[in-house]
Amino acid sequence: MTTIAETAPVSKTALWTGRLLSGLVILFLLFDGAIKLVPWPVVTESMDRIGYGSSETLARSLGIITIVCTVLYSVPPTSILGAILLTGYLGGAMATCGSAARSLPTSCSDFILG
């Protein structure tokens, strides 16, 4: 079966706006993964407050997962897989934030409500 796909023309402004927003998300997620690889006290303390315990191994594992998913998202041939994996990862983070809302009401609600 042959599929012919045509792409609609996109303005340069929309193209560069999309690239800029994707770049900011990628930089933020890489930074987030990097600070978990070197588990600073603020990372382990936050994980302990949420209910995961202050495990440096868990922090490093989450950092590696974040970086791998972000790299997959940033490479065009694997961007769909990376987007799906990041959706699952961040969905789990939101579920954790919702279940920990008793101890962190303002930060979770501010993040959820935008």
DSSP symbol at 54:
S
Residue 98 lies in a domain: yes
Residue 3 lies in a domain: no
Q: What is the pLDDT of residues 12-60, one digit of tens each?
A: 999 899 999 999 999 999 998 998 898 788 888 888 777 777 788 888 8
Tokens of 43: 């990372």
Residue 41 lies in a domain: yes
Helix axes 56-74, 79-99, angle to 10 degrees: 140
Q: What is the pLDDT of residues 81-99, one digit of tens each?
A: 999 999 998 887 777 766 6
DSSP symbol at 114:
-
Residue 6 lies in a domain: no
Distances (CA, A) of 39 to 1, 25, 78: 51, 21, 28
pLDDT at position 114 over 50: no
* Mean pLDDT, residues 65-79: 94
Structural domain for 29, as ranges: 14-113
Radius of gyration of the chain (CA): 17
